């Protein structure tokens, strides 16, 4: 992912990847979006956590999977990442209802 292009409107890039049994099932990052583009969008950005689940498509594939989210600044340096309240609730639901095994943040 080109960090400079992805961070055009943001100060940092959040990149999310869903893996299961050492295989990448889906990958996505935060981008600028609007509510009219679908569920899981805030007024300013499409959060990586929701974007990657949407890209996965079939939530049954979350069973036993791990979601990894990393945050990079404009220079591509790893930064501390923490979910927003809405994403935290969304991921708790994914764990409780769809069997997502673990969530890891940088």
Quote the pTM value: 0.79
- pLDDT tens for each residue of 74-102: 888 899 988 889 999 999 999 999 999 99
Residue 26 · residue 65 · CB < 8 Å: no
| Residue 23, phi then psi, degrees to nearest 5 | -120, 135
Residues 100, 26: Cα–Cα separation, whole Å = 13
Between 9 and 73, the more confident residue is 73
Report pLDDT digits (tens) over 22-42. 999 999 988 776 555 554 544
Distances (CA, A) of 93 to 3, 20, 35, 64: 30, 18, 21, 14
- E strand or H helix that includes residue 29: strand 23-29
- Output phi, psi for 90, to 5 deg: -60, -45
Alpha helix segments (H runs only) across the chain: 3-6, 48-56, 85-98
- Kindly give the interhelix angle for 85-98 and 48-56, rounded to the nearest 10 degrees: 30
The per-residue pLDDT for 34 is 56
Q: What is the pLDDT of residues 46-63, one digit of tens each?
A: 889 999 999 999 999 999
Look at strands 23-29 and 31-32 and give their pairing.
unpaired
Q: How confident is the model at residue 10 (pLDDT cuts 50, 70, 90)?
A: low
């Amino acid at each position: 992912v080109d960090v400079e292009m992805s961070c055009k409107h943001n100060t940092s890039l959040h990149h999310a990847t869903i893996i299961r049994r050492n295989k990448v099932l889906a990958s996505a990052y935060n981008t600028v979006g609007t509510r009219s583009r679908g569920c899981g969008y805030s007024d300013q950005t499409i959060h990586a956590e929701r974007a990657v689940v949407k890209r996965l498509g079939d939530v049954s594939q979350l069973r036993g999977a791990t979601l990894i989210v990393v945050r990079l600044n404009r220079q591509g340096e790893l930064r501390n990442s923490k979910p927003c309240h809405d994403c935290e609730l969304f991921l708790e639901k994914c764990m409780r209802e769809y069997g997502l095994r673990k969530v890891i943040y940088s």
